[in-house]
Every structure is written in structure tokens, then in C-alpha cells.
Structure 1
């Protein structure tokens, strides 16, 4: 099943890079993340409050040994992303916050290109690394067209500049309304190496020239190796 598409053909759709909406928030230890849009008039939802977790009803589990700790890597810029289950093989471009205070989207003139928020964690580093890609452009399908079809257990490989290939396992794939995006849940630093893949989804609003939802893939680092 392909990612939700607009009711009119892809060739008539505007570039969705204009509407990857991520609210500008600070989570964890001052970790800055964003809700991206090229529409300067788009409303920015307030940053969520920190969720209080209920007290455990049973004794805490023993602290795992160092050998059982989740893997983490030193910082290194990503070079290429590969998701074999949906035939993704694409280079990266770094993304930054533009003059509007919102994250710049990947260029819409290259359908096979992923963007990485360069001021966040690098893929494999402790923290939440954010990767964005178009689902389609004016010319047709784009790099994250089939992102919504990923399943728990699928893997994502990211090759880094240091030569290490970081492998992430998908935990879940969820769709959220851009009008009520759960910033804390998506972007919070869990203390481990996390990955979020984000694209547009849901119904396409012709009047707003925008998709109503975002598709978010939640994944965590499972291994790292030299090719």
C-alpha cells in the first residue's frame, strides 16, 4: 500500500516539501526540533508539556550490564540511507533552520534525496536523529513514497562519513495530524540512539496545497558495522 496520495494525479500536485510541518520545540537537554512549512502563515502549535509517567507497580528491573547496554556511536554526518524493504537508496542533504525560524525542506527538484536536521543528533549518536523526505513532487513519486508501508521489524541502514553503517530497527509507523502533532512523543531524547523518518501523508487539501498529516517512523539503533 502506497503512502496516501492527493485525489488528483501526482503530476498536478505541488511539491510537498512546501508543507512538511514540524513545530519548533525544545525537548530534553535543550534539543531543538522543528515543525516545517514553507507557508509563513501556517500556525505553530504550542510545545507540549512534559508527560509525567505513573509510578511503577513492581520493583524496577536490575540494571543491565555494560555489554547489554544499547549501542551508541560518536557523532558523524550521514551520507546515504538504505531501506531495502521499500527500495530506498538515497544520499543526504543537511537541513537547517531558515530565516523564518522553521526548518528548510529538502530541495523539491531532486526526488531521490533525504534531508537530515544537522543541528540534531547524528544517526547512531545518543539522542533522536530526524530525517525528512518528500512523498511526491510535481514530477511524480519521491524518496519516501512508501514510508507508510514499513512494518515493525523492518530495518533502515544509514552509512556515515566515518564509514560505519548504522542499522536501525523500526518500532512503529504512525500518522499524525499536522494540526495536533505530538512533539514530545516524536522528538524527545530517550537516552538512546533513536531515528525518526518523516514525510507527508493523509488527505491532500487542494485549497491549502498541503497534506493534512505527517507519517512518522519510530526506530532505534540495533547495530553498527564497517562495510
Structure 2
């Protein structure tokens, strides 16, 4: 690796050590958080919404065959084969209003990894966000609500490893009563949340909810 590459990794690790503890950020996120606020919703057929049968199952903690947590590494790409997602990932943080930022809406095939949480595969809950649509049409996570338990999410990391997560639940939560502790809280094992807009839509307020995918680490490739 070049000297510039080593410097970039060292700088990223230093930023990671300095960020606020996740529990502190979670308190900020409990205040009616809307992760993605500017989906257009102006299409004849809206994005699919999760079926009631897709609600998270009751399993928690470790399970047979779970791989060991990985060390920190930035994520560069996310793939969700069941809905044909294969997108680059950019880092996002908190915006000036205390909301998790989103990737630029003009690029429909771009996701964001929230750097205030762990990286995908580390112990804790990693968060990936993306738009459901933009002014031109469906965006990267338009089909998120169509996912089912057992589908997989692959996150390609900068260290060359792919953290593979299995979905165990998909739900829609109101932005006005977003359960930040439930969504972002660590279960003590590597987990992933993939989030986009969902629920009802109005031109005045946009989407009134967020689709949240719950997944746990099941393999490392």
C-alpha cells in the first residue's frame, strides 16, 4: 500500500476513535428521526412495503455458526441480490440538524454508511442508508420493502473482506415515533440495519415512515 493510502487509513481510524459513543448518538436519534427526508414519491406505483410476516423474529444474541466479529474497515459497496442492488457506498455522518445524512439524491445508485456507528462486520450495529427515489424515478433502495426473512445483504469492505448478513426482519416505523434504541442498539453481536423512506406519502411532508431491514452477520467471504 502506498504512503498516502496508509495515511488515509490512519486518519480514518483516528476519526473513528474520536466520534461520540453510540449510546450518546442514539439519544439524539430518538427525537423523531427521519433517515431519508427527500424521496419524491411522485410515481403511479409506490415502493413495496414490508408484509406483516416480515416483522423481526424473536431470536437474539449469538447463534450456531456465527462468525467472529471483524475489525474495523470502511465499507465500499453493498449488494442485495434479491432486489438486484449493487451499489457503491459513501461515508455519511450527522447533518446540522442532528439527522443521519443521506447520499446526494441526484445519484440513484448510491448508498451511505453511517460512520457514527460501527463498520459492517464489527461487534455492534452498522447502519447503511439510501434513497427510495428521486425526481427521475426509483433509487437504490426502492425495493427494500419487498425483501423477506432469509434474504442476504453483502457489504464489501476496504480490507477485501465481504461481510454477509442474513435478514431476520423488515418493518416500517413512523418518523414521528422512530424507535431509535430498538433499531440502533447493539445486541452484542455484528448486525446491520439498511434504511430508506417508506410508509404513506404526501407532497407536503414526503414519506411519513422509514423501512428498516434487520440483519445479522452469518458469513465472511
CA contact (8 A) 2:198 2:210 kept: yes
Question: Aligned to 2:181, what secondary structure does the other structure show?
Answer: helix
Among candidates 72, 76, 79, match of residue 79 of structure 1: 76
Among candidates 105, 113, 126, match of residue 116 of structure 1: 113
Q: Distance in 2 between matches of 1:171 and 1:28?
A: 26
Q: Distance in 2 between matches of 1:178 and 1:90?
A: 25
> Structure 1 201/69 Cα, relative in aligned 2: closer, same or farther at 3 Å?
closer
Structure 2: unaligned runs, 5 residues or longer: 1-19, 38-61
Normalized against structure 1, the TM-score is what?
Answer: 0.71
> Structure 1 37/182 Cα, relative in aligned 2: closer, same or farther at 3 Å?
closer
Structure 1: unaligned runs, 5 residues or longer: 1-26, 40-63
**Structure with max Cα Rg:** 1
Does 1:94 find its partner at 2:87? no
* Per-residue deviation, 1:30: 2.9
CA contact (8 A) 1:96 1:104 kept: yes
* Per-residue deviation, 1:98: 2.2
Give the corresponding residue for 1:199: 196
Normalized against structure 2, the TM-score is what?
Answer: 0.72
Does 1:127 find its partner at 2:120? no
Deviates more, 1:191-200 or 1:70-79: 70-79
* Per-residue deviation, 1:143: 0.3
CA contact (8 A) 2:108 2:131 kept: yes
Q: 1:162-217: per-residue Cα shift (whole Å, max 9, x none)? A: 00011000001111111111111111111000100000111111122x10111000
> Structure 1 69/201 Cα, relative in aligned 2: closer, same or farther at 3 Å?
closer
Question: Aligned to 1:184, what secondary structure does the other structure show?
Answer: helix
Q: Provide the aligned length of Structure 1 versus Structure 2.
A: 173
> Structure 1 217/139 Cα, relative in aligned 2: closer, same or farther at 3 Å?
same
Q: Distance in 2 between matches of 1:115 and 1:29?
A: 18
Among candidates 102, 107, 110, match of residue 105 of structure 1: 102
CA contact (8 A) 1:97 1:103 kept: yes
List aligned pairs for 1:24-35, cutoff 5 A. Answer: 30=23, 32-33=25-26, 34=29, 35=33
Q: Distance in 1 between matches of 2:216 and 2:68?
A: 10
Among candidates 154, 176, 181, match of residue 179 of structure 1: 176
Among candidates 139, 149, 153, match of residue 142 of structure 1: 139
Q: Distance in 1 between matches of 2:159 and 2:216?
A: 20
Task: Name the Cα RMSD after superposition.
Answer: 2.3
CA contact (8 A) 1:71 1:222 kept: no
Q: Distance in 2 between matches of 1:221 and 1:214?
A: 22
Deviates more, 1:199-208 or 1:158-167: 199-208
Query: Greater helix percent: which structure?
Result: 2
CA contact (8 A) 1:124 1:193 kept: yes
Give the corresponding residue for 1:46: none
